[in-house]
């Protein structure tokens, strides 16, 4: 196995085919949480394990799914000797990670991410949770998985929209990390068929593997230094306050919402003279080149704007009359700022004109 040592409290990364993952738990009890589509695609690779199937996408992240999982745990007699594996995208790992953390005060939890977004971001770092009464990720905890099993070939069945969604998190990592990863991502546009036409089948397996490992390196370095998001880890929320509000209110895929959230943060930074226009344009070009939305006028509908705005100010990053907002100041230069809610509200009204 091509593994890397786990950091003190963190996850171990393995790169191996999905059909070999079950073998890693040989002699142990394995419970696999997955969604309907993935049970069909990959379920037969787990014929010796118990498979629990949850709804696809964000619908998995509900109180109802959580309590159904616990009903299954009772039925199966799951105790602390069991291992729980999330086989799927971020929706499955967010739900399963939370269930694993709560059950009997914690059972062993690992992930086999099947979306690009989960490989580069959602499966790492231990944030988990479900939505509750219109609040995105309102219930959740921090509990890092033990192992992450990555098989980039599993991404070949992913549709282009979901693939692009994962690229948004990779761009976010590049904006945080700096020029080297950012220009590597730019080089993929040429390899993948040019701006707007980038897709997984056109991107070589080696490039894809490098993208996954670089993003993982960047995210894990930040999480290892600040596992409970008391400081630096907050930069990983770039584009996410607005993104989460959009995702909930529009049903746009996570990465599409985050892309628009980054576009908004870039506009805020430009207006305050915090970023040069050519740096901002370069980031927007990369997002758009990957087929991600950056045009805020997409949100033309007044009623939708009101709902997104209301949802934004219910976000976890709000602290009383201020919000922790992540501001991109350039490629490799991202910082957090406390911005008065009223200032953000009037900026939003202006940005949406
Ligand atoms: N915990 C974190 O740190 C973190 C970080 C980022 C995002 N998230 C969360 O992740 C969720 C989004 O997850 P996601 O974008 O990975 O998608 P997802 O889990 O919602 O899945 C999207 C769709 O893709 C399908 N799919 C997954 N893998 C496939 C494959 N290999 N082939 C074909 N179809 C496949 C699924 O069945 C589903 O229909 C959001 O709820 C978001 O909040 C969490």
State pLDDT tens for residues 324-351.
Answer: 899 999 999 999 999 988 888 888 888 7
Distance CA 280, CA 263 (A): 9
User: What does the buried/exposed string (b/e) look like for 12-21 if buried means 16 or more CB atoms within 10 Å of the residue's CB?
Assistant: bbbbbebeeb
Tell me if 118 CB under 6 Å of ligand 1.
yes
**Chain segment 191-222, per-residue pLDDT in tens:** 765 555 566 767 788 899 999 999 999 999 99
C-beta of residue 87 within 8 angstroms of C-beta of residue 114? yes
CA of 277 to the centre of ligand 1 (A): 33
CA of 122 to the centre of ligand 1 (A): 8
Distance CA 327, CA 264 (A): 10
101 DSSP 8-state letter: H
User: What does the buried/exposed string (b/e) look like for 125-144 if buried means 16 or more CB atoms within 10 Å of the residue's CB?
Assistant: bbbbbbbeeebbbeebeeeb
Q: Across residues 262-287, what is the average pLDDT?
A: 96
CA of 96 to the centre of ligand 1 (A): 13
Helix, strand, or coil here: 27? coil
C-beta of residue 46 within 8 angstroms of C-beta of residue 30? yes
Distance CA 312, CA 241 (A): 6
Write down the pLDDT at residue 71: 98
Q: Across residues 277-291, what is the average pLDDT?
A: 96
Tell me if 173 CB under 6 Å of ligand 1.
no
Pair of tokens at residue 336:
């957090």
C-beta of residue 148 within 8 angstroms of C-beta of residue 111? yes
Looking at the chain, how many residues does it have? 353
Give Cα 224 distance to the centre of its chain.
17
Q: How much of the chain, in percent, has pLDDT values that exceed 70?
A: 94
CA of 120 to the centre of ligand 1 (A): 11
CA of 119 to the centre of ligand 1 (A): 10
Distance CA 300, CA 148 (A): 40
Position in ligand 1 atom list of the atom nearest CA 125: 3
Distance CA 20, CA 23 (A): 5
From atom 3 of ligand 1, which residue's Cα is the shortest distance away? 122
- H/E run at residue 312: helix 302-312
């Amino acid at each position: 196995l091509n593994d890397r040592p786990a950091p003190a409290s963190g996850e171990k990364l393995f790169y191996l085919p999905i059909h070999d993952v079950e073998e890693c738990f040989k002699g142990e009890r394995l419970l696999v949480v997955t969604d309907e589509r993935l049970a069909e695609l990959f379920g037969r690779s787990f014929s010796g394990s118990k498979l629990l199937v949850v709804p696809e996408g964000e619908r998995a992240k509900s109180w109802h799914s959580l309590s159904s999982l616990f009903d299954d745990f009772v039925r199966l007699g799951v105790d602390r000797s069991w291992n729980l594996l999330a086989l799927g995208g971020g929706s499955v790992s967010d739900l399963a990670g939370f269930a694993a953390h709560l059950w009997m005060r914690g059972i062993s939890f690992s992930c086999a991410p099947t979306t690009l977004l989960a490989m580069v971001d959602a499966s790492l770092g231990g944030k988990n949770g479900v939505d509750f009464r219109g609040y995105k990720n309102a219930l959740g905890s921090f509990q890092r998985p033990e192992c992450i099993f990555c098989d980039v070939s599993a991404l070949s069945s992913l549709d282009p929209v979901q693939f692009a969604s994962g690229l948004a998190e990779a761009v976010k990592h590049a904006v945080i990390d700096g020029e080297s990863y950012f220009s590597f991502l730019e080089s993929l546009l040429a390899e993948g068929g040019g701006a707007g036409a980038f897709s997984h089948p056109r991107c070589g397996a080696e490039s894809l593997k490098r993208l996954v490992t670089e993003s993982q390196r960047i995210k894990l370095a930040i999480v290892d230094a600040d596992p409970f998001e008391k400081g630096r880890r907050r930069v990983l929320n770039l584009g996410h306050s607005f993104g989460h509000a959009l995702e909930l209110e529009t049903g746009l895929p996570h990465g599409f919402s985050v892309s628009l959230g980054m576009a908004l943060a870039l506009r805020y930074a430009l207006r305050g003279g915090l970023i040069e226009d050519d740096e901002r344009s370069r980031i927007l070009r990369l997002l758009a080149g990957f087929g991600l939305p950056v045009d805020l006028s997409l949100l033309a509908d007044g009623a939708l704007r009101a709902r997104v705005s209301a949802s934004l100010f219910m976000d976890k990053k709000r602290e009383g009359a201020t919000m922790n907002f992540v501001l991109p100041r350039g490629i490799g230069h991202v910082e957090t700022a406390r911005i008065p809610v009223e200032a953000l509200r009037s900026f939003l009204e202006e940005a949406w004109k």
